Structure 1
Amino acid sequence: AQHFVKRHVENIFEQKKMPELRYVSHISRNASRHPRLMHSHKDHTEIILICDGNSEFLIHNKKYPVKKGDLLIYNPGIIHDDVTGKDSELELYCAAIGNLDMKKTGNNTPIPENGLIPEKAPFIYHTEEREYDFFYNIFRLMFDMLRREETGAESVSAYLIEAMIVRVMSMIDRIEGVAVEPMENPSVIGMQIKEYIDEHYMEPLTLQSIGKELHISPYYLSHIFKDMSGYSPIQYLLRRRLGEAQNLLISTDLSITDIAGMVGFDTQSYFNAQFTKNVGIPPKKYRQNYLTKNEEES
């Protein structure tokens, strides 16, 4: 059999810029017991495919249930928290893509710099069986080739990630995602609290100091924020600090003492205790394990 290409292929990238694949990760169900806590990325988009299990993720300002077949897309700056553990283990693939300069969508909606989807687009899309197989096979091929350091792995992966992006763009308009609900007044206040913590998490914050800065009583502040996010402000602050510490542990050679101070902890001992309690292993072991665990578990 033979099939002809019936349509002219249009470039979906502005100025014909080539997207840059930064990394591909595979997280097994066992490894998901040590979750990535609250963090964001400044200059790249993440695409995540849930391959097995179910859990819930905090994305931006709300918790969402996730399950096998879900495709998650995080533009730069979207804070997300992987709420996994012994009772909610997941297997997933993740790809980070930079140098994105996407054209506007079909309805002329602009896309943020280094982003893949419009700002108000859903974060989660559930794939049908054939679409799931398409994404799964691309993720697995890229991951295996890069892990084995095969000749040409980077070039092949660069074209595969373009194919994945094209498929994502074609499905966005026709797959029902998890819509972001309109924010009512209490959530607007909640967002003000979130934005303040996100901007000042490295500083010594308390309910009283946040309330004073935003002219809200500590009790009302705590009530509104927990209704919006599922976390108390202090829990959110802790996870925000630990999530940024994880970023620094796996992307820099900074000492653990320096990292603890940079993200807002007074002492390394308290940082070590909170990290171990919330992630499941000490920060030193997390740093040692993270970059090699995919090979050990494949």
Structure 2
Amino acid sequence: SKLSVLLGAENLEQLFCGTAEYLHWIIHEIKQSVYTNSYMVHRVISAVSTDCARPWTIEGLAAELKISPYYLSHLFKEYTGSNFTDYLAERRIERAIELMRQPELTLAQIGEMVGYLDQNYFSRVFRKRCGTSARQYRKQLLSE
């Protein structure tokens, strides 16, 4: 309907006014879209930050937000510079490092607390992200 007003202009003044209204509407829609998109990414980040141990998937989060997983994945990468899987792994490792300061917790318990039920997988992910084993990292952390 916005475009039909423009196309139905009978003189130059109506064309200018219609064009201005149409551009204003387009700018509003773009701003609304950017706000909505960043809000959705913020919701994902907030959810993961609140409970990184939950078995999050981009498909499950997209279903909660009622958008396609592909689109959410694209938005997430656009806004954070990282894909969701890498982002989740980083948050989990950050949380694991925080928990390593508690000597009463075993590495297996820490792995489970951040979402890695398989201790071997936790160890592999930790080594890949930190360049050293979780055991060595913790030893160094506790000796400081």
Pairwise same-fold verdict (TM > 0.5): yes
Give deviations 1:246-280, integer Å, cap 9, x for gaps: 01112342001111111101200000000000001
Amino acid at match of 2:129: N
Deviation at 1:216, TM superposition (A): 2.0
Deviation at 1:284, TM superposition (A): 0.5
Please report the TM-score for the alignment, with normalisation by the length of structure 2. 0.71
Give deviations 1:5-42, integer Å, cap 9, x for gaps: xxxxxxxxxxxxxxxxxxxxxxxxxxxxxxxxxxxxxx
Secondary structure of the 1:264 match is: coil
Quote the residue 2:129 is aligned against: 278
State yes or no: 1:253 paired with 2:104: yes
Quote the residue 2:77 is aligned against: 226
Q: Distance in 1 between the 2:88 and 2:51 partners?
A: 9
Q: Which runs of 5+ in 2 are unaligned?
A: 1-33
* 1:99-118 correspondence to structure 2 within 5 Å: none
Give deviations 1:166-197, integer Å, cap 9, x for gaps: xxxxxxxxxxxxxxxxx733212210111122
* 1:10-29 correspondence to structure 2 within 5 Å: none
Q: Which has the higher contact order (CA 8 A, sep 6+)?
A: 1
Aligned match of 1:188 in 24, 27, 39?
39
Q: Distance in 1 between the 2:103 and 2:61 partners?
A: 30
Secondary structure of the 1:253 match is: coil
Deviation at 1:281, TM superposition (A): 0.5
Q: Which runs of 5+ in 1 are unaligned?
A: 1-182, 294-298
Q: Distance in 2 between the 1:240 and 1:277 partners?
A: 14
Kindly report the root-mean-square deviation, in angstroms, between the aligned alpha carbons of the 2 structures.
1.6
Quote the residue 1:177 is aligned against: none
Deviating beyond 4 angstroms after TM superposition, the runs of 4 or more aligned structure 1 residues are none
Amino acid at match of 1:184: Y
State yes or no: 1:243 paired with 2:89: no
Amino acid at match of 1:266: L
Give the structure with the higher percent helix: 2
Amino acid at match of 1:274: V
Larger radius of gyration: 2
Please report the TM-score for the alignment, with normalisation by the length of structure 1. 0.35
Q: Distance in 1 between the 2:93 and 2:72 partners?
A: 22
State yes or no: 1:262 paired with 2:113: yes
Q: Distance in 1 between the 2:123 and 2:138 partners?
A: 13
Give deviations 1:57-90, integer Å, cap 9, x for gaps: xxxxxxxxxxxxxxxxxxxxxxxxxxxxxxxxxx
Give the structure with the higher percent strand: 1
Amino acid at match of 1:207: I
Q: Distance in 1 between the 2:72 and 2:85 partners?
A: 11
Identity level (%): 32
* 1:162-181 correspondence to structure 2 within 5 Å: none
Deviation at 1:199, TM superposition (A): 2.3
Q: Distance in 2 between the 1:277 and 1:270 partners?
A: 11
Amino acid at match of 1:234: T
* 1:1-298 correspondence to structure 2 within 5 Å: 184-292=35-143
Give deviations 1:226-255, integer Å, cap 9, x for gaps: 111111111111111111000111234200
Q: Distance in 1 between the 2:95 and 2:103 partners?
A: 12
